[in-house]
Amino acid sequence: MTRGEQQQVDAGDGGDPFVRQVVWLVDRAGGKESLARATGNRVSVRTLDNWVRGTYPRAAVTGAVRDLDAWARAHAEGYPAAAGAPRLVESCGPARTPAAVPAAVPPAPERPPVPSRSRWTPLALVGGAAAIVVLTAAVTVPVTLAVATGDPAVDPVQAAQVEPAPTAVPVVGVLPSQGDGRLYEETTGSIGANTFSDPRALTDNALGIPADTTVVVRCRYYSPVLPSVVPDGFWYLVDSEEWAGRWSPSNSFMNGDVPGGETLHNTDFDVPVCR
């Protein structure tokens, strides 16, 4: 282990089994850059840097964790026993403390058509608007209030529409997490972006990406379960910093559009479909 990596572990949680396993893989490969190259960029240098410091996914076993684990089993002789820790997928946060799976939310009644929009703006940004929370017997689901900002003649408060609570689809199988081996830069719009651990069940949306923030994404996945992601219905798999392995709606990003200008792209179709 290099001196810098040792300092990072000391600053984080050097006794954490997940951190020990990542540090062993980094050391065996000759550094984070070497490990990222050896894995075909399945895990980025920035993600490895966060994991070495103890900042790793604790709400879900993400695609990046599964990919590095699969690569290590095939190519890293001595893994996992040599590090004196369980496999990455076994020592990750949720693997040690499984999170409860939220119950599905029943579909809400259909709403009137929403005016055409440029970028969705939460009513929290319009003076005096309050958040609305829909409670069910098994789960609490926040309902987004949105207004269309593309037409200056429309009163934004009168144009507000309550989105129906989305119906979470059954989670079947492992989410695809591979693109074409490259990472693509995408920048959030003026209101930032929510992230979820699973775009099918809309679980764990507590970690948002701030406005005007550039992240890298691996691939896109189709899941139109949330009305506000329509018409495209795509989600990006983020691979940056604390959001690595989480999913965010593609229309929360600029996708090459000019900040403050007209919305032309809800999805960057250069980003490959996840497989």
9-32 per-residue burial string, b: 16 or more CB within 10 A, e: under 16 = beebeeebbbbbbbbbbbbbbebb
Helix (H) or strand (E) segment spanning residue 145 = strand 145-148
120 vs 225, more confident: 225
| Among 23, 135, 2, residue whose Cα is nearest residue 79 | 23
Q: Give me the pLDDT at residue 92, please.
A: 83
pLDDT (mean) for 127-138:
35
**% of residues, the chain, pLDDT over 70:** 67
Q: Give me the pLDDT at residue 22, please.
A: 92
Q: Give me the pLDDT at residue 183, please.
A: 95
Global pTM?
0.43
Q: How far is CA 59 from CA 63, 96, 97, 164, 209, in A?
A: 12, 11, 9, 26, 16
CB < 8 Å & 24+ apart, contacts of 201-206: 201/101, 201/102, 201/104, 201/168, 201/169, 201/171, 202/141, 202/166, 202/168, 202/226, 203/60, 203/99, 203/101, 203/102, 203/168, 204/59, 204/60, 204/99, 205/142, 206/59
Please spell the DSSP secondary structure of 157-204, one letter per residue.
TTT-EEPPPPPPPP--SPPP---SS--EEEEB-TT-B--BSBTTTTB-
For 83-101, how does the pLDDT look when each residue is reduced to its tens digit (9 = 90+)? 999 999 998 877 665 444 4
> Around Cβ 91, how many Cβ atoms within 10 Å?
22
Is the peptide bond preceding residue 231 cis, with omega within 30 degrees of 0? yes
* Beta-sheet strand order (sheet of 161-162): 120-122, 145-148, 161-162
For 92-132, how does the pLDDT look when each residue is reduced to its tens digit (9 = 90+)? 877 665 444 444 545 555 555 544 444 443 333 333 333 33
pLDDT (mean) for 213-233:
93
Residue 42 scores a pLDDT above 90: no
Mean pLDDT of all residues belonging to the chain:
76
